[in-house]
């Protein structure tokens, strides 16, 4: 049996950085990863997909060149092999950077293999037994495959496998109208494929307010994406030249099907029962406000704990654990103000409460909206789709939440994110003097237009 001061299972965005901090403190740490360092973000999420989004945007801008007085003769052609290779290069550079970083770190042992608990202080991997007083789980999540008629008779894609495509689908059917599915839908439409989105719910991006969901649908429809919402029945069958997707309202002749119906935690094969670690009914590991499980000496970080399915929330889990365990601090998950983005183009930046949540809270609230068509930078760039919205508490003057669907919305939202984390009231922001011409310069104006509802 090999003994360590700590064992980290999973090489995503929380575990490796926590392992590195512990090594800096002089600890002997084992980092166990069953496949690739970097987790979903580096290998199948943020980095490759946003690289693909960038290629798709380049194609879109090139096709619109004439609008800006830039005439490009002939049809804009897409070389999917180059597109894929570029995304793979970005992934490999990041992955290899982590490999090199850990290789030069005394006290760090990286083990590739599948870890399972033997008891609360012991795990087995590759036939070896490892023990430590502290064990951290950072095992991530994977795509959910729903039990739909005919799904096992077709070759479907997931968000993990589609990034390896080096040919262009004739017609891509996307099952699921949430964040992952919508990013791939727009991306492949811009590459030149026909695209249909099929969503069980009444709206796309159902977490968002209806006005945001409707605006997202308008953006996608304007680019020729076929959207089907409120679909109750879906079945698949092979056809002579692809896959038939039959719903209660349409029949789609697709060449490829992407299943984007959510993700589930990678907790079902860790031997958690042997350690006594409790999970909820969805398989997420139950943790307290400081990320500790019900078993002393075991923590769960990142997607597997159900407290955020984003790279930045996973990294923040690392920050919380490191601050509490290594720096004598007392940080809590409940102090985190959730922010995220949807990377269609234009992107959606979101923070805090939706309007629906704010109304349901019983607070006296104020709301302000502004169309992107009334933003100078958007007009100058010729990208005026979307709008900005902010919600505030009428009594405390604190900002409760905001949504910016529009050009650079994923960056602009950080002005609101920072203000909310600092506890700044909206009147204090209203009199700032922002730089012109930017999108962010409209934040004080947006706040100045807050009206009670």
CA distance 342 to 359: 23
Q: Are 363 and 168 in contact (CB under 8 A)?
A: no
Q: Is 89 left (phi over 0), alpha (psi -120 to 50) or beta?
A: alpha
Q: Where are the alpha helices (DSSP H) in 227-364?
A: 272-275, 311-326, 355-360
Q: If 0-12 CB within 10 Å is exposed, 13-18 middle and 19+ buried, where does residue 92 land?
A: middle
- Nearest by Cα to 178 from 243, 233, 244, 259: 259
What angle, rounded to 10 degrees, do the helices at 15-24 and 311-326 form?
30
Report d(CA 84, CA 23) in Å as an integer: 36
Count of residues making up the chain: 453
Q: Which two tokens stand for residue 360?
A: 């349901």
| C-alpha–C-alpha distance, residues 361 and 364, integer Å | 9
Strands 365-371 and 387-393: antiparallel
Given the residues 171, 256, 282, 436, select the one marked as catalytic: 436
Note whether 141 and 262 are within 8 A (CB): no
Residue 425 φ/ψ, nearest 5 degrees: -80, 155
Give the three-class secondary structure for 357.
helix
Kindly list the distances between the CA atom of residue 123 and the CA atoms of 21, 22, 226, 394, 441, in Å, as whole numbers in the listed order. Answer: 22, 19, 49, 53, 53
436: annotated active-site residue = yes
The residues with which 22 forms a beta bridge, in sequence order, are none
Cα–Cα distances in angstroms (integers) from residue 19 to residues 199, 286, 329, in the given order: 40, 22, 18
Report angle CA 77, 79, 83 to the nearest 5 degrees.
125
- Which residues participate in catalysis according to the annotation? 436
């Amino acid at each position: 049996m090999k003994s360590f001061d700590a064992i980290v299972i999973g090489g995503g965005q929380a575990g490796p950085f926590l392992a590195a901090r512990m090594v800096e403190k002089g600890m002997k740490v084992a980092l166990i990863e069953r496949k690739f360092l970097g987790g979903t973000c580096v290998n199948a999420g943020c980095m490759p997909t946003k690289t693909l989004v960038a290629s798709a945007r380049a194609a879109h801008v090139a096709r619109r060149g004439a609008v800006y007085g830039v005439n490009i003769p002939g049809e804009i052609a897409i070389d999917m092999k180059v597109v894929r290779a570029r995304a793979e290069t970005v992934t490999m550079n990041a992955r290899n950077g982590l490999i090199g970083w850990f290789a030069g770190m005394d006290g760090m042992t990286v083990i590739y293999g599948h870890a399972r608990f033997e008891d609360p202080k012991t795990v087995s991997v590759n036939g070896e037994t490892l023990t430590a007083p502290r064990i951290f789980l950072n095992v991530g999540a994977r795509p959910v495959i729903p039990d739909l008629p005919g799904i096992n008779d077709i070759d479907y894609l997931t968000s993990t496998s589609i990034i390896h495509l080096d040919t262009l689908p004739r017609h891509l059917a996307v099952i699921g109208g949430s964040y992952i599915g919508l990013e791939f839908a727009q991306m492949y439409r811009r590459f030149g494929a026909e695209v249909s989105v099929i969503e069980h719910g009444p709206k796309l991006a159902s977490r968002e307010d209806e006005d945001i969901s409707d605006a997202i649908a308008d953006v996608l429809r304007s680019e020729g994406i076929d959207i089907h919402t409120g679909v109750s029945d879906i079945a698949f069958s092979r056809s002579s030249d692809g896959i038939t997707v039959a719903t209660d309202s349409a029949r789609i002749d697709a060449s490829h099907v992407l299943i984007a119906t959510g993700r589930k935690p990678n907790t079902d094969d860790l031997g958690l029962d042997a350690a006594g670690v409790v999970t909820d009914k969805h398989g997420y590991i139950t943790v307290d406000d400081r990320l500790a499980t019900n078993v002393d000496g075991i923590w769960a970080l990142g997607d597997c704990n159900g407290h955020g399915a984003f790279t930045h929330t996973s990294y923040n889990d690392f920050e919380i654990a490191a601050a509490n365990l290594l720096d004598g601090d007392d940080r809590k998950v409940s102090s985190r103000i959730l922010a995220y983005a949807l990377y269609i183009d234009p992107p959606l930046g979101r923070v805090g409460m939706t309007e629906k949540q704010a109304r349901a809270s019983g607070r006296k609230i104020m709301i302000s909206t502004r169309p992107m068509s009334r933003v100078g930078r958007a007009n100058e760039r010729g990208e005026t789709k979307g709008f900005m919205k902010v919600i505030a508490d009428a009594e405390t003057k604190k900002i409760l939440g905001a949504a910016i669907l529009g050009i650079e919305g994923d960056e602009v939202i950080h002005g609101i994110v920072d203000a909310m984390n600092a506890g700044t009231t909206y009147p204090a922001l209203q009199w700032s003097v922002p730089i012109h011409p930017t999108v962010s310069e409209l934040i004080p104006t947006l706040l100045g237009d807050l009206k009670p509802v």
